[in-house]
Chain A
Amino acid sequence: MPRRNVDEQLPMADLPLHILLALATGEKHGWAIVKQIREHTSGRTDPSSGSLYLAMLRMKDRGLIDEVNAPRDETDARRRYYRMTAYGRRVLQAELHRLDELVALGRRHGVLDARGA
């Protein structure tokens, strides 16, 4: 495995970021990822099926996510499960850290108040 650079993945586009956030709570199949993203964003982000899989293929190519075997209690054999790789977790952390710094900057400059509104 070549050493992979985290910074070259930053900044992340919206959809990959949400996919990683959805997978942060555990392995999921496509439909569960969609539902998790909707839940995270109160329905504001609802990717089309095509965009979701294109984004996931690209993320797999970049080593951010991985396919895993379905858990034993999964009844539908057609479902594939995805998980975040260790590299993916590092990229997610770095991206969230970057965003966090931006938010802190906004606060310091008085653009955001303490509640974030």
Chain B
Amino acid sequence: MMRRRERIGLAVFSLLLRFLPRRLREWSGAELRELFATRQREMVDSGGSVRLFAFWMKEAVGLLVSAVAARFDSSPPDLIHAPQRRDLPMDNLLQDLRYVMRRLRSAPGMVAVALLSLGLAIGANTVLFSAVSSLLLRPLPAANPDRLVNLFTTYPERGGGEWSVSLPNALDPERRTRAFENLAAYQSGASNVATDGEPQRAGHAFVQRDLFDVVGVAPAVGRGFTAEEDVPNAPDRVVVLGNAFWREQFNGEPALGKTLGINGRPHTIVGVMPEGFDFPFGNRTAIYTPLRIAESSWGRGSGGLAVIARLRDGVTVESARRDIDALAKALETEFPKTNAGMGYIVSPVSDVVYPFELRLGIYVLFGAVAVVLVIACFNLANLMMARGLARENETAIRLALGGARSRIVRLDVFEGLMLGIGGGVVGVLFAVFGGQWLRHLDNDAIPRVQEVDLNFGVFAFTSLVSIVAGLIVGAAPALQGTGDLGGLMRDAMRGTRNRARTHARRAVVIAEVALSVILLASAGLLIRSFTERLNIDPGFDADRVLSARVALDASYRDNRTRADVLAFHQQVLDRLRAAPGVEAASAGFALPLLGRTDSNDFIIEDRPITDPASKPNTGFSMVTTDYFTTMGIPLRQGRSFDRRDTWDQPGVVVVSRAMAEKFWPGENAIGKRLRSACVSSSTRRRAVRGHTGER
């Protein structure tokens, strides 16, 4: 079977074949491809990437040199007259190269401009091509990832959106439709992990034991989870490590059977995942543990789980959607209390990991950078045309002395090739630095961005771009034509210019300016919307505010009362406030604008609910005292939370100005009472005590 890089190599080679003159191509094309494929196979079987790359370069250069050389062959030689051996271009190749080097050395300014502009454009192209190839072209770490889908629930009547799934609703699609081969529910977050007593926060995935079967990736070392380990209160607590975490924490030494403290509880290591595997895809997950929940203990009306499923052979995403829509209807009639209005969403995992907007963004950026490269080429072509004009006298003299016209053209092509190759080298330097910068970006912004590396395909791509750029640049003066000798000499003497040549230059300049205008306009728009976004007042002041996540081990909470836990947090805050340089400190469940806050239906007292299905709903967060001061959120009216508002006191709530205006327009919201509508056990009345400037 042919591997991907072989197919790419053959495709590029086939493309380069087009450079051969028609006669050579028709005579040898199919065989050349065949020979290339055979030798490439030999390289792949025998050696590493470096040798294959060297082979590619050699074949590409050999082909292009042959293409150039063959262009200067006369058609089949006249056998009666002696062939003119001395005109064989191969003999003059080195001489020409030396001449071109000399010519370039005499114009260091032009060379510097050319190398910098080409290099910048090629460098940017390389970085983006790396990103595209490592992120979008490299498959997700799973067997047949295009058959994997994520399932979400959705409530179309309440504005849609993707919601997490309860365990019964997660398992029904496998049990009651024929669309899925298997599926697994999971949750992901972070946990306190202790190795050798040194705790750290690490990415943690809680997965049903089938998960590794669903994605089709087994642990590289050890085993996955057994059925006995994936039940509530299973006596054995086990963990499978992510490869990167295993390398960091155990230096790649055997870890099976060792113990790892997770949230204060000892877990036995039973497996290590293979390198490059991360689940959920695109997250940096250090540890995998069994989900350990029973269907009976998770109400159908709850949520909290993510679901990944593998489509059965021959089932398309569309037919899976039809099946699961029918299931949703059936569930609605069977469980009207919990499933009324609920539907499912089926999304291919690649769409979830790389949403359309992200892909589009990368491709648009790629397009823009490609345009920059085209502009750089035009720019150079223009420079070289100007040089060609300045050299007309020299050309005229060469022609007059019997110099071959083909050779003069060839010098120009060589000059372009040299600049192209030099630009490629400079570009790779830029790309190496650019790539390092890209890897420093946050993994949250672009999933798997750390995996972007300047791989070997990218180097091949750069080489190709620089060679093509060189050919374009080199061909420009040649296209301009060396003209007929008489005309050239007349022009040279009179100082006039050939009309056709002037037109060619004008066309280049026009194209260049047009492309630049497009780029400038779009860049301007982008900068404008960016500054507008920066100027939006978010309602809080993030200046000088630091945030940290605090999570108590489950074992700490086990033996303590709620009051103890509250006291712990109070103590943390008190000590923070006492620290020098700290103005204010507060704790809460979520930071504004970051991630999803919890949301909750609520009921306003003294206001009857007419339609039970459309209760008012809003996002909410629980915070400690001083939250508004710490976050710099201005209080418009009423009071903020203080030490009176302990958990055994009547509930109080601060609402945003937007909420006050929506639900109590023209009224004073202070003192109004509302009630949570969802969590019946802890339903407490809350009195509105203040409202803020937050939108």
Contact = CB atoms under 8 A, between A and B. Distances in A.
Interface of A: 2, 4-5, 8, 13, 29-31, 34, 47-54, 56-58, 61-63, 78-80
B355 interface: no
Interface in B289-328: none
Interface of B: 20, 23-24, 27-28, 30-32, 34-36, 38-39, 58-59, 61-67, 69-70, 73, 76-77, 79-80, 82-83, 85, 90
A106 B451 CA distance: 60
A41 to B, nearest CB: 16
Given A8-B83, A78-B31, A58 B65 contact: no
Contacts of B31: 29-30, 53, 78-80
Given A48-B63, A49-B35, A50-B65, A13 B82 contact: no
Contacts of A52: 35
B35 A8 contact: no
Contacts of A48: 58-59, 61-63, 66
16 contacts: A2-B80, A8-B83, A8-B85, A29-B31, A31-B38, A34-B39, A48-B62, A50-B66, A51-B66, A53-B24, A53-B27, A54-B66, A57-B27, A57-B70, A63-B79, A78-B30
Given A34-B35, A79-B34, A62 B58 contact: no
Given A8-B83, A57-B24, A62-B83, A51 B65 contact: yes
Given A2-B79, A48-B59, A62-B77, A30 B66 contact: no
Contacts, number: 75
Contacts of A61: 76-77
A8 B34 contact: no
A45 B80 CA distance: 33
A13 B67 CA distance: 18
A49 B39 contact: yes
Contact of A8 (B27, B32, B82): B82
Contacts of A56: 28
B56 to A, nearest CB: 10
B370 to A, nearest CB: 27
For the complex of A and B, list the 4 residue pairs with the smallest distance between their C-beta atoms, beginning with the closest. Answer: A48-B62, A50-B63, A50-B66, A54-B66
Contacts of B61: 48
Contacts of B85: 8
B79 A50 contact: no
A50 B67 contact: yes
A53 B32 contact: yes
Nearest to B34: A78
A48 B659 CA distance: 74
